[in-house]
Amino acid sequence: MIDVQIYRYHPEQERQPWMQSLSLPEEFRARMVLDALEFLHEADPALVYRRSCREGVCGSDGMNINGKNRLACITPVSEVLGTSNELIIRPLPGMPVIRDLVVDQSLFFKQYESITPWLINHDPAPAIERLQSPEERARLDGLYECILCGCCSSQCPSWWWNPEKYVGPAGLLQAWRFITDSRDQATAERLKRLEDPFSLFRCRGIGNCVWVCPKGLNPMAAIGKIRQELLRKAT
Tell if the pTM clears 0.85, that is, is over it. yes
- Over residues 143-153, the mean pLDDT reads 97
Domain that residue 15 falls in = 2-103
* Domain's final residue, options 103, 135, 151: 103
Q: What are phi and psi of 192, to 5 degrees?
A: -60, -35
Q: pLDDT tens-digit profile of 80-92?
A: 998 889 999 999 9
With bands split at pLDDT 50, 70 and 90, how would you rate the model's confidence at 98? very high
Instruction: Work out the average pLDDT over 189-193.
Output: 96
Residues 71 and 14 reside in one and the same domain: yes
Q: What is the mean pLDDT of the chain?
A: 95
DSSP state of 18: E
Q: 57 with 77, same domain?
A: yes
Beta-bridged to residue 69, according to DSSP, are 64
Question: What is the CATH number for 84?
Answer: 3.10.20.30
Is the same domain home to 146 and 229? Answer: yes
Give me the mean pLDDT over the 196-213 stretch. Answer: 95
φ, ψ dihedrals at 72, nearest 5°:
-60, -30
CB 21 within 8 A of CB 74: no
The string of pLDDT tens digits covering residues 99-132 is 999 999 999 999 999 999 999 999 998 998 999 9
State which of 88, 103, 118 marks the end of a domain. Answer: 103
150-176 per-residue burial string, b: 16 or more CB within 10 A, e: under 16: bbbbbbbebbeeebeebbbbbbbbbbb
Of all residues in the chain, the percent with pLDDT exceeding 70 is 100
Among 55, 77, 103, residue at a domain's last position: 103
Count of domains forming the chain: 2
Q: Can you give the pLDDT at residue 234?
A: 81
